[in-house]
Chains A and B, each alone.
Chain A
Amino acid sequence: MQRHLISAADLTRDDAVLILDTAEEMARVADRPIKKLPTLRGRTVCNLFFEDSTRTRISFEAAEKRLSADVINFAAKGSSVSKGESLKDTVQTLEAMGVDAVVIRHSASGAPYRLANSGWIDAPVINAGDGTHQHPTQALLDAFTMRRRLIGADAGLGRDLDGKRVTLVGDVLHSRVARSNVDLLHTLGAEVTLVAPPTLLPVGVETWPCEVSYDLDSTLPKSDAVMMLRVQRERMNAAFFPTEREYSRRYGLDGDRMARLPEHAIVMHPGPMVRGMEITAEVADSDRCTVVEQVANGVSIRMAVLYLLLGGNEPAGAQPATSHLRTEEK
């Protein structure tokens, strides 16, 4: 594995499978009376959030604390950023305090990459979402959820998502989740189809390793998993579709549409959901919807990433789980 986790595209198939397999073991810790491991004792991790977040921030914090790391939470709101402090100065302050890893979310695409390659700080950088660019741990937890649901927790160990058909629906243009998922799912051998109005597809989407469709109804029967994306108003600066009602009618998932999915297919959503817009309450609350499961899996995946990047003297090499080494003779 590389030293930083900036983009899902940086992960090889072996890296990704190693993370998924490690997360499978981490998930078991949640079932124990003491949900804690001593692995990152003495390591300090800073959660650097320049953009609002509920799930991701809490999930990273839970993962760090379950691995016994010391956690510093930084939110731009209420910090010296509002006084005009730059990212560089903020990060150099953290460097001076001796943090061992930085988890960063930023509204500017490329901020984590800049941080990892700037020389401002000598610590692994984990991207927790940057603008419309990437959200690699979200893609990993989505792949983990798919593998568990479509293959099985134990049966999935060591396996990728070869041949699984995944449909991503909605605001692809503004979605870092979609970009990360297309990269990772392609790496894991899944067949990805994007379904969106033409106005919500980015320029150059034809070069992505996936299919594109404008017709949700014809795609649903051929899907093992369908992932609904939120329409990101906060990133919109123009009118991308006539009305919300029209969007929902053509690209929203309701009970009738869900019935067109194969029996085994699952409905996913990265959250936060806008009920009544891209997904109806009936679908969101159904057994097929994995939203809550995805949140739980997010903690396991982030524990796995933190362990593999920070648990040793260098990032883990991708090795099959079966070649587990444990020796006292070194």
Chain B
Amino acid sequence: MDTHANPLNSDARPVLEGPDIARVLTRIAHEIVERAKGADDVVLLGIPTRGVFLAQRLAVKLEQVTGRKIPVGSLDITMYRDDLRMHPPRALARTEIPGEGVDGRLVVLVDDVLFSGRTIRAALDALNDIGRPRAVQLAVLVDRGHRELPIRADYVGKNLPTSLRETVKVQLAEEDGRDTVLLGAKSADQ
């Protein structure tokens, strides 16, 4: 989930900092290996923009744990959104499926913030047009609640109870120059 469309008020406070993010990703990597019994057939697909960076970091952690290279790619869901008609068309991001494909494999979708679940619904539709995985799981850095669809994450970095008057902003070094998760009040124009 990309959050720079959500300007925060200046009173935003960090709820996760760089070392915390590294730690939760390490934990998620171990959980994936444990649940997938070795992660032999795991493919990581990050949802642009920040989900892709998180997936790449997870792939590095998984390689450290398993000693094997884990295929990592990206899955753009723009064309599958259910609110396309509510906004001007958005620029597309890259969909990059690893050479191994997804057929018969365990696909772990990776995103930064899980909120309404609509993004993940779109991702499942997009994945359906690309192939038939053995199973699909979801890893998110932050679950902020307020689900609008029956969707849940298999791996959660941090459960963050929020109000709808608040906004969550994830910043990652690759895109924003630093690692942090900020929680703040929505600005007045939102």
Contact = CB atoms under 8 A, between A and B. Distances in A.
B76 interface: yes
Looking at chain A's contact residues, the main secondary structure is loop
Interface string A300-330: 0000000110011111110111011111111
Given A34-B129, A38-B125, A329-B5, A324 B91 contact: yes
B180 interface: no
Given A312-B88, A329-B167, A38 B115 contact: no
B35 interface: no
Contacts of A36: 129
Contacts of B48: 324, 326
Nearest to B76: A25
Give chain B's interface residue range (CB within 8 Å of chain A). 35 or more
Give chain A's interface residue range (CB within 8 Å of chain B). 20 to 34
A317 to B, nearest CB: 6
A39 B90 contact: no
Given A324-B2, A329-B6, A319 B85 contact: no
A22 B92 contact: yes
Given A32-B130, A39-B79, A323 B91 contact: yes
A31 to B, nearest CB: 9
Nearest to B85: A313
A22 B79 contact: no
B94 interface: yes
A18 interface: yes
Interface in B93-125: 93-95, 113, 115-116, 118-119, 125
Contacts of B137: none
B84 interface: yes
A316 B89 CA distance: 5
Contacts, number: 107
B44 interface: no
Given A39-B84, A307-B79, A317-B88, A327 B6 contact: yes
B3 interface: yes
Interface in A72-125: none
B75 to A, nearest CB: 11
B87 interface: yes
Given A33-B131, A34-B129, A38-B125, A326 B119 contact: yes
B70 to A, nearest CB: 22
B6 A21 contact: no
Given A312-B89, A324-B48, 9 more contacts: A25-B93, A38-B125, A312-B84, A312-B88, A316-B88, A324-B49, A324-B90, A326-B2, A329-B6
Interface of A: 18, 21-22, 25-26, 28, 32-34, 36-39, 307-308, 311-317, 319-321, 323-330
27 contacts: A25-B92, A26-B92, A28-B95, A32-B129, A37-B80, A37-B129, A39-B79, A39-B84, A312-B86, A312-B87, A313-B85, A315-B88, A315-B89, A316-B88, A319-B91, A324-B2, A324-B78, A324-B93, A325-B90, A326-B2, A326-B48, A326-B93, A327-B6, A328-B119, A329-B1, A329-B5, A329-B167
